């Protein structure tokens, strides 16, 4: 089976290293790394599997053997999904590669605010800061996919109560309790730390706004490692200015990046990180594990892992 690794002409991601990682895992298959547009067009004619951050729809015109496009990102909304489906090409995602590091980011944010590191960092030399204690707190995790599950698992040793919120609560989860969307406010009312790690959809856009901030206890802390638009930014600013929130850690914002004159920069109880929760030196190693597994599954005609868009013939 031939696997083609596309170049990334936008963000200059290390696709050569990614190709090497795939070769280590798939010695029985041919892995080709395209370094130029001409090489992409040449090798796409014979490739069974194509992988990379994105694929141009025009490239599919030369595709004859492709059965799978393995996207190097967890999200796939940027892909020409209709054209891929029309060409009978399945699409898989990189869901799960961010889980360990994004979970560490979220738990680190919770611990930082629990112990008030952000206040100590601003204090004048030996000025006392009274820290809190995480044990006994309630942490609500919105979204129980790979990242939400990893967060809940890492919180287990801290003697906290975990509440999970997901679209289909009957599916259960790793948290102490699981709530559906219609019970969201019941969970919010009990929350000390609200962690957002859900995908951005029409249902989750603006999920946390004035009403939700009104339900949260005034000392609760928001941690957003999802997407900026899951939170109503204006409502967040209003709530913080009124002293109705204990603080926020935002790895994502709306807009992103925030303009230099945005009011969030002037709020003491907000920590902003530049969309780095998903960054990890292990990204392409974990991605190669997923893609190599799917190449073997494809060869054996077994169900694919992280299937985002099935082939029409499936």
For the chain, the domains span 2-97+281-309, 99-272
Given CA atoms 104, 110, 114, 120 in this order, what sign does their dihedral have?
positive
What pLDDT does 246 receive?
A: 97
What pLDDT does 9 receive?
A: 62
CA-nearest of 140, 147, 133 to 176 is 140
For residue 127, give both structure tokens: 């000025």
- Distance of alpha carbon 143 from alpha carbon 289, whole angstroms: 24
For residue 231, give both structure tokens: 């939170």
Question: 2-97+281-309 adopts what CATH topology?
Answer: Rossmann fold (3.40.50)
Contact partners, residue 245, CB within 8 Å, separation at least 6:
213, 216, 218, 219, 220, 221, 222, 236, 239, 269
For residue 91, give both structure tokens: 């699409």
- Spatial contact of 21 and 285, defined as CB atoms under 8 Å apart: yes
What pLDDT does 237 receive?
A: 98
- Distance of alpha carbon 143 from alpha carbon 140, whole angstroms: 10
Q: Are strands 193-196 and 177-179 parallel, antiparallel or unpaired?
A: unpaired
Please give the distance of CA 137 from its chain centroid, rounded to a whole number. 24
What per-residue string of b and e applies to 73-100 under the rule 16 or more CB within 10 Å gives b?
bbebeebbeebbeebebbbbbbbbbbbb
Tell me if residue 26 falls in helix, strand or coil.
Answer: coil
For the sheet with 177-179, list strands across it: 177-179, 161-165, 138-142, 193-196, 221-224, 247-250, 270-272
For the CA atoms of 132, 138, 142, 143, what is the dihedral angle to 10 degrees? 110
Q: Name residue, tokens 């990682």.
A: 21
What pLDDT does 257 receive?
A: 95
CA-nearest of 163, 107, 103 to 134 is 107
What pLDDT does 62 receive?
A: 82
Question: pLDDT (tens digit, 0 to 9) for every residue of the chain, 314 residues total?
Answer: 999 999 876 556 678 899 999 999 999 999 999 999 999 999 999 999 999 999 999 999 888 899 999 999 888 888 999 999 999 999 999 999 999 999 999 999 999 999 999 888 887 778 888 889 999 999 999 999 999 999 999 999 999 999 999 999 999 999 999 999 999 999 999 999 999 999 999 999 999 999 999 999 999 999 999 999 999 999 999 999 999 999 999 999 999 999 999 999 999 999 999 999 988 889 899 999 999 999 999 999 999 999 998 875 55
Catalytic residues: 227, 256, 275
2-97+281-309 matches 99-272 in fold:
yes
What pLDDT does 128 receive?
A: 81
CA-nearest of 273, 293, 275 to 285 is 293
- Distance of alpha carbon 271 from alpha carbon 281, whole angstroms: 23
- Distance of alpha carbon 272 from alpha carbon 248, whole angstroms: 8
Q: Name residue, tokens 């780095």.
A: 276
What pLDDT does 292 receive?
A: 98
For residue 311, give both structure tokens: 């082939």
State pTM to two decimals: 0.88
- Distance of alpha carbon 268 from alpha carbon 169, whole angstroms: 36
Question: 99-272 adopts what CATH topology?
Answer: Rossmann fold (3.40.50)
What per-residue string of b and e applies to 222-240 under the rule 16 or more CB within 10 Å gives b?
bbbbbbbbbbbbebbbbbb
CA-nearest of 256, 200, 194, 264 to 226 is 200
What pLDDT does 173 receive?
A: 96
Q: Are strands 90-92 and 307-309 parallel, antiparallel or unpaired?
A: antiparallel
CA angle 8, 84, 290 (to 5 degrees): 60
């Amino acid at each position: 089976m031939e696997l083609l690794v596309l170049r990334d002409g936008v963000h200059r991601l290390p696709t050569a290293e990614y190709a090497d990682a795939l070769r280590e895992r798939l010695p029985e298959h041919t892995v080709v790394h395209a370094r130029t547009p001409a090489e992409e067009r040449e090798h796409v004619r014979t490739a069974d599997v194509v992988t990379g951050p994105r694929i141009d729809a025009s490239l599919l015109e030369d595709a004859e053997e492709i059965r799978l496009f393995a996207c190097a990102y967890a999200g796939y909304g940027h892909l020409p999904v209709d054209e891929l489906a029309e060409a009978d090409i399945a699409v898989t995602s990189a869901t799960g590669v961010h889980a360990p590091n994004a979970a560490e980011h979220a738990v680190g944010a919770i611990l930082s605010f629990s112990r008030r590191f952000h206040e100590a960092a601003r204090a004048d030399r030996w000025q006392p800061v009274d820290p809190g204690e995480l044990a006994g707190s309630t942490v609500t995790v919105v979204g129980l996919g790979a990242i939400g599950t990893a967060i809940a698992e890492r919180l287990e040793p801290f003697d906290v109560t975990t509440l999970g919120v997901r679209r289909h609560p009957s599916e259960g989860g790793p948290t102490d309790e699981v709530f559906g969307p219609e019970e969201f406010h019941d969970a919010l009312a009990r929350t000390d730390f609200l962690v957002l790690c859900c995908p951005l959809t029409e249902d989750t856009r603006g999920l946390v706004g004035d009403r939700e901030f009104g339900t949260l206890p005034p000392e609760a802390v928001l941690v957003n490692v999802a997407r900026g638009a899951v939170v109503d930014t204006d409502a967040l600013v209003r709530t913080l200015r009124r002293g109705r929130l204990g603080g926020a850690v935002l790895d994502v914002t709306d807009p992103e990046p925030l303009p230099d004159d945005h009011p969030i920069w002037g709020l003491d109880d907000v920590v902003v990180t530049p969309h780095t929760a998903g960054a990890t030196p292990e990204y392409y190693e974990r991605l190669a594990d997923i893609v190599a597994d799917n190449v073997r599954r494809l060869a054996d005609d077994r169900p694919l892992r992280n299937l985002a868009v099935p082939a029409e013939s499936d």
